[in-house]
Structure 1
Amino acid sequence: MGPRKTSTTTRVPIPPNVPPEAVISALQAHIPLLSAQPYMVKFEPRAVPVEDLVHDPFFRADGLPLQGFLFQEKVPVIGSLVGIPVVVPCVFQSFAAGTRCRADARGGVTIWSSYEVRRKGEVPRGPGEKEARIGKGNGKGQDADVEWELVEVAVIECCSLVKVFIMHHFALAHQELLQRVVDDVARRIS
């Protein structure tokens, strides 16, 4: 079975006391986004393989120069006891509302993600997406007061044999990832 593409949208509210520009700056620095990954073991800069990306329409002229990283994570297989080490080369491109990232994992898994700060409701809900609420961890503001949200729109390409596994772990990890980024920014500005 060949690779198939699936889209998913993940979002978390940005509390009213957190300036949207501060979240955009964190996204564009890339390091806060990488270090917030729940399964992250380590990451390091790497050269950008331009020949692999030159024909990828995901990276657009409205963005800044590309930055590459080699990201190592341990994806849980049996609860949190057993994990599979995975090394993922990824490339980032900052743009006005946030950053784009293409990650090429082993097994033919490619993920194109756009992390953007948007006005609440500006990005339509994805299929099966649940309403995100301000977490108890930051305890600031009420959902009714939220004007901005951090939204990830991702396209995941993988073979159908691993799709359920990939989508399950992606959904869990990336909801936590976005919340960690917002919480980290909130801590830094308070």
Structure 2
Amino acid sequence: MAAFTVVTKVPLPAYIPPDAVVAALHAYRPLIEANPHLTSYERRAVGIEEIVDDPFFRDDGHRLQAFTCYQRITIIPGVGAWATKDVSVPCVFQSYDVGVRCRADAGSGVTVWSSYEVRRRGEINATNPADTPPPSPDDGDFELVEIASVSCGALVRPFVRRSLTTAHQDILQRIADGVGRSVGIPVWEMAIGKAGVTGRSPQV
């Protein structure tokens, strides 16, 4: 089995309260629904065998919840629907003070242990800095970070790493955008901030 870690992050604009992002993570569903591969999901009971021997789930956590997420994964990009695969992914979530832990068993021997956290900007470096959105005048002092530890077969490692990097960057950005909308920031103002255009920052 191959093991590797991917760190992904997006900056949080100054007008998005960090506590609002943590609250969205703690709700679990915004995190699930941000996955671009998701087709549907359902809540299920937590199996004791899923957590009892896994040190990933710690004593500082709260609210263990389990879901099955149904996803459509692209195997060969750009060649149509025939090159996709439908998969079901059992997930277990646990909240803690600054974020959420999630273990996803994606099948075929692929398991992902992810921590989603709000951190002060610059505390940790991204695995692929080129994939991190460029700085914006609206960036604040915090960023949304995912630290994903992956176990998978050596043959599928390149595919899993590519899929994780691209999809999870999108997940983080969707969460940030969703929180921005929930606190009353118009979509066009968020787009201006991402483009690096200066202007009056919304007051929240």
CA distance in 1, matches of 2:41, 2:153: 26
| CA displacement at 1:134 relative to structure 2 | 5.8
User: Could you give the per-residue CA deviations for residues 7-56 of structure 1, whole angstroms, max 9, x where no partner exists?
Assistant: 01000000100000000000000000000100000011011111231111
Separation (CA, whole Å) in 2 of partners of 1:118 and 1:33? 17
Counterpart AA for 1:133: P
Contact 2:8 2:128 in 1 (8 A): no
TM-score normalised to the size of structure 2?
0.84
Correspondences of 1:57-68 after superposition (within 5 Å): 57-68=55-66
The match for 1:138 is none
Total equivalences in the alignment: 181
TM-score, normalization: structure 1? 0.90
Structure 1 residues 28-39: aligned runs within 5 Å: 28-39=26-37
Corresponding residue SS for 2:176: helix
Identical columns (%): 44
The equivalent position to 2:53 in structure 1, one of 27, 52, 55, is 55
Give the greater-gyration-radius structure (CA): 2
Matched, 1:142 2:142: no
Gaps of 5+ in 1: 136-140
Answer yes or no: is 1:109 the counterpart of 2:103.
Answer: no
Give structure 1 regions of 4+ aligned residues with deviation exceeding 4 angstroms.
Answer: none
Superposition RMSD in Å: 1.6
- 8 Å Cα contact 1:14/1:134 also seen in 2: no
**What letter is aligned with 1:132?**
T
Counterpart in the other structure of 2:68: 70
Residues 121-163 of structure 1: per-residue CA shift (max 9 Å, x gap): 12x214444362269xxxxx616x4210000000010001000
Return the alpha-carbon distance in structure 2 between the equivalents of residues 68 and 52 of structure 1.
Answer: 10
Paired position in structure 1 for 2:181 = 187
Residue in 1 aligned with 2:196? none
Higher RCO (CA 8 Å, separation ≥ 6 residues):
1
Q: Which moved more, 1:167-176 or 1:45-54?
A: 45-54
CA separation of 1:84 and 1:177: change in aligned 2, threshold 3 A: same
1:162 and 2:156 matched: yes
Could you tell me which of 7, 21, 24 is aligned with 1:23? 21
> What displacement does 1:95 show?
0.3
Residue segments in structure 2 that go unaligned for 5+ positions in a row: 185-204
